[in-house]
Structure 1
């Protein structure tokens, strides 16, 4: 991402675009522990688009609240692209939002579910059945990984929102 697209700038762009579309957003967060929701709700007017969030830090909450398949969690653990996808779809359903965004991964200090620190998956689920997962390999300490995960999740969402095809193209090509 370019310097002009920090998490705060991406959150403001997400809120503006969702408001223009008359669409709503919900977040399902694991390793970010509510930071995506905090970033989005720091934007004035976020209440027009943001429905709420579920911080499903525990694996059983991913299953019981967000509807992630228990077998998937048992077989692969919580740090998995399909788990991220299911979390995004699940929070969308649970909170009655048009769009869902999700984060799951390993912020450290120790590996989890056989995954090294810095392994992160962010996902988006949309109203037309759109879903997208992005794998991130992040460096730094726990706080850095969590911050970059928020940035990655918001960038993925922004790129998937209708009318933001250029933002998606720019993000996938290293920014401009």
Structure 2
């Protein structure tokens, strides 16, 4: 699956002359690592911010402190701000963001383990979606990776 999606993302970005950045929390750089596993990705992948702490979300991705206080790090508002922020920080046309609870600890009744918010910004159009992925930490991270890339490809095709 990934072997088909990443080259398709790269082709669209190259054809448009666009670049991509990632802002990752729960995946800890997995998305960036996966993208850079593909030869030629330097033509369209600018970089990543692994924003595990709220301080990094605020300082590097411009997530307002009020957003984190009111909604929490694992929220629609936060991943939208992260996706917009990574585009601004890295100067990219497209950005993706992820924040979630990969487990096995950290879950709450409102946000159980496996809760992941994913954000996408493509050429100024931003959206976010909440997911509840089953499985252990590795499974949650893998499903997050596949979902963020599938969603990005869909948005790129529409723009």
Normalising TM by the smaller chain, what interval?
Answer: over 0.9
Distance 1:9 1:108 in 2: 29
Asked if the contact 1:15–1:43 (Cα under 8 Å) also holds between the matched residues in 2, the reply is no
Structure 1 partner of 2:130: 135
Structure 2 partner of 1:116: 112
Q: Which runs of 5 or more structure 1 residues have no equivalent in the other structure?
A: 1-5, 166-176
Q: Over residues 140-162 of structure 1, what are the superposed CA-to-partner deviations in whole Å (9 max), with x where a residue is unaligned? A: 0000100110111111111111x
| Alpha-carbon distance, 1:138 to partner | 0.3
How many aligned positions are there?
Answer: 157
| Alpha-carbon distance, 1:8 to partner | 3.2
Within a 5 Å distance, the mapping from 1:38-117 to structure 2 comes to 38-112=33-107, 114-117=110-113
Q: Which runs of 5 or more structure 2 residues have no equivalent in the other structure?
A: none
Q: 2:143 aligns with which of 142, 148, 165?
A: 148
Query: What secondary structure, in the 3-state scheme, does the structure 1 residue paired with 2:48 have?
Result: strand
Asked if the contact 2:61–2:86 (Cα under 8 Å) also holds between the matched residues in 1, the reply is yes
TM-score (norm 1): 0.85
| Alpha-carbon distance, 1:112 to partner | 4.2
TM-score (norm 2): 0.94
Q: Over residues 22-42 of structure 1, what are the superposed CA-to-partner deviations in whole Å (9 max), with x where a residue is unaligned? A: 110000000000010011111
Runs of 4+ in 1 over 6 A off after TM superposition: none
Distance 1:54 1:143 in 2: 20
Asked if the contact 1:123–1:156 (Cα under 8 Å) also holds between the matched residues in 2, the reply is no
Distance 2:121 2:150 in 1: 14
